[in-house]
Structure 1
Amino acid sequence: MLRIKVEFALDYAVEPFYYERGLDFYEDGQNYSLASLLYTAGPTLLGKEAFDALLVTFQRAVKEKTEGALRELVLAASRLNWRELPEALGPLVQASPECLSAIATTGVTTDAAIVVLQALISRMELMADGAYRVEHDQSKNLLTYHDLLQRYIDHQHEVEFRQTQIASIKFPLKLSSVSQVDSKASSAVQVADVMIGAAIEAANGLTGLRPPLLEPQAVMSLYADDQFIHLVPSIDFTEQKEFRQGTQAAEMIDYFAKHFGTKSS
């Protein structure tokens, strides 16, 4: 999830700067590669404490949306050796008005739940032969996005967006209904919770975020390579460019903003 938080920071603290200058920040997965580079090399090039402080300051600015919080964010970026990664930190150091405005926009958060949900939908849509339904537990995040999922279901415009070689999203969805259930009364939801928890624990172990409670490779061996989306950072830039070549992420973001009032990643 830390990699996703870094990507969120780039989405709002960098992408608007390039957008205003006619550059597609998402072309061929450039946003993913830069986020992976910043996640991987940032602590070393910028200093781990300073890098962590920047992310904390970014989260505070997104939450508070005040001039003071935005000013502190610019100062936090300026204190770093930002010239080591000017593509990632330059717009923020320059206090780009486009970026600061995006961060201060009502509704913009660092909640990664919508990213995970959209990734999950793209996989379910590909795997399903026909109509299917979704049951989810009553967690706060899922309750927050329940109505949005229903709007996705109700959307009848015919449109499709390519994201990667293995991911795309096409409307109308095959998803026919979404309902909330008590996880204690649903064995399927309980199994899903266990599987997701194990995958997250293994990913944290592989990326060194904390000592793993489970053997990461043993857990990962239970999944196929194409079942991972938005999970593990990669600095094999050639491979990632090929994997994400032709992505329509920018067009998808514009479409979602227009029809659903949300920015996806």
Structure 2
Amino acid sequence: MECFRIDESGYTGFDLLNAAQRFQGAAAIAIEDDDARCLIREHFPSLQAAELKYSALARRPANHPRLLALQRDLLTHYKCVTYVCDKRYLLLLMYLDYAVEPFYYERGHDFYADGQNYALASLLHTAGPTLFGKSAFERLLASFQRAVKEKSPQALGALVQAARSTNWQALPEALGPLAQFAAPECLQAIATPGVSTDAAWVVLQSLISRMEVMADSAYRVEHDQSKNLRTYHDLLQRYIDHDEEITFRQTEIANLTFPLKLQSVILVDSKSSPAVQLADVMIGAVVEAMNTLTGQRSRGLDALEVISLYSHEQLIHMLPSTDFDQQKRFRQGTQASEVIDYFASHFYK
């Protein structure tokens, strides 16, 4: 049975405002350990460490050409997919999901039509600090994140006050439901058990949608037994166990169909899995490239060269974009509302 190996980077649980780790992602690669071991030996014949780790290798400029060549081999000869998201942008999307959309739903409006929520989140990401006041906007996002985690009346009240402390009248369509109305349907959505700002399920959905396309038939997943990836493990098992027949259109290039071709998920020690180590190299390089391109880092591999190695279908990203016409085309006819409702009722109780 075909096996995809997975590793992640940038996981910070519910905290999507962690300034030191702006991006989160994961990579999946279908390669056997024997082939992975040969590739590591070919590109790093003098490696003394017990485990191939991107973060350690990338510190030395002499390793950069080897890391680029290794990734080029993987992307050329093996089934690969890498997903990366801007966690602040994702938090804004979640804010719209829970603190805004229920208000419009109660009034008969489809807030998700043609991906307009993505366009609004991009606008907030770009112009929010200017529109609403930088400090006040930061407090709003922190208060939202805390309210989703704690779900207490005190935290929900603090969120409403944070919204009212912003210059919300500059864009009442976005902040008005809480600031003007303290909309009970929004507060109830935020307080719903299972609702979380943890991005693991978003990352997994994206990886699975591509693995399901790349896999010719039934396949399995192996990933490291680290604490972070145990969250991914539990979610993957829930997806595997779900046997209802249903298909969702997510974007113009991605659908998700249950039951999955994915049959099993296994925890392994990355030190004994060269294939998982290669997944670490893939996601480590992309996350570092995104940090470089956004001015968060100044050292490491050439970011543009790393991104240029990928074909269109090998790299999935959730990043803000103010090309609103392109966003509309990409997400036209998608089933965002149905997907959110379905996953909330079947996987996140």
Both proteins in one fold, TM over 0.5: yes
SS of match in other structure, 1:177: strand
Of structures 1 and 2, the larger Rg is shown by 2
Q: Say which structure is richer in helix.
A: 1
Instruction: Specify the alignment match of 2:153 in structure 1.
Output: 67
1:191 is the counterpart of 2:278: yes
Give the Å deviation of 1:23: 1.8
Letter in 1 for 2:259: P
Give the Å deviation of 1:211: 3.0
Instruction: Specify the alignment match of 1:4 in structure 2.
Output: 90
Instruction: Specify the alignment match of 1:259 in structure 2.
Output: 346
Instruction: Specify the alignment match of 2:12 in structure 1.
Output: none
1:112 to 199, 202, 207: 199
Change (3 A) 1:247 1:151: same
Give the Å deviation of 1:224: 2.2
Letter in 1 for 2:227: K
1:139 to 226, 229, 247: 226
Instruction: Specify the alignment match of 1:32 in structure 2.
Output: 118
Give the Å deviation of 1:154: 2.5
Give the Å deviation of 1:134: 0.6
- CA deviation string 1:149-190 (max 9, x = no partner): 223112222211001011110112111111111112111111
C-alpha separation between the residues in 2 aligned to 1:130 and 1:141?
A: 28
Unaligned runs of 5+ in 1: none
Q: Is the 8 A contact 1:202 1:212 kept in 2?
A: no
Change (3 A) 1:45 1:205: farther
1:92 to 178, 197, 206: 178
Instruction: Specify the alignment match of 2:293 in structure 1.
Output: 206
C-alpha separation between the residues in 2 aligned to 1:205 and 1:92?
A: 36
C-alpha separation between the residues in 2 aligned to 1:83 and 1:64?
A: 28
Give the Å deviation of 1:197: 2.0
Give the Å deviation of 1:28: 1.0
Instruction: Specify the alignment match of 1:168 in structure 2.
Output: 255
Give the Å deviation of 1:233: 1.2
Give the Å deviation of 1:230: 4.2
Runs of 4+ in 1 over 4 A off after TM superposition: none
SS of match in other structure, 1:162: strand
SS of match in other structure, 2:266: strand
1:224 to 295, 301, 311: 311
Instruction: Specify the alignment match of 1:124 in structure 2.
Output: 211
1:237 is the counterpart of 2:324: yes
Letter in 1 for 2:340: I
Residues paired across the two proteins, number: 261
Q: Is the 8 A contact 1:10 1:88 kept in 2?
A: yes
C-alpha separation between the residues in 1 aligned to 2:322 and 2:145?
A: 25
Change (3 A) 1:115 1:78: same
- CA deviation string 1:107-156 (max 9, x = no partner): 22111111001111011111222121111112334313423322311222
Letter in 2 for 1:231: M
Letter in 2 for 1:253: I
Give the Å deviation of 1:49: 2.4
Letter in 2 for 1:184: K
1:149 is the counterpart of 2:236: yes
Instruction: Specify the alignment match of 1:179 in structure 2.
Output: 266
Letter in 2 for 1:187: P
C-alpha separation between the residues in 2 aligned to 1:66 and 1:146?
A: 29
SS of match in other structure, 2:220: strand
C-alpha separation between the residues in 2 aligned to 1:63 and 1:151?
A: 22
1:46 is the counterpart of 2:137: no
SS of match in other structure, 2:111: coil
Letter in 1 for 2:224: D
Question: Over aligned residues, Cα RMSD in angstroms?
Answer: 1.7
Q: Is the 8 A contact 1:4 1:230 kept in 2?
A: no
Change (3 A) 1:130 1:219: same
C-alpha separation between the residues in 2 aligned to 1:256 and 1:244?
A: 19
Q: Is the 8 A contact 2:200 2:231 kept in 1?
A: no
Change (3 A) 1:230 1:82: farther
- CA deviation string 1:23-64 (max 9, x = no partner): 222221111111111111112222332222211111111122
Instruction: Specify the alignment match of 1:19 in structure 2.
Output: 105
Change (3 A) 1:207 1:167: farther
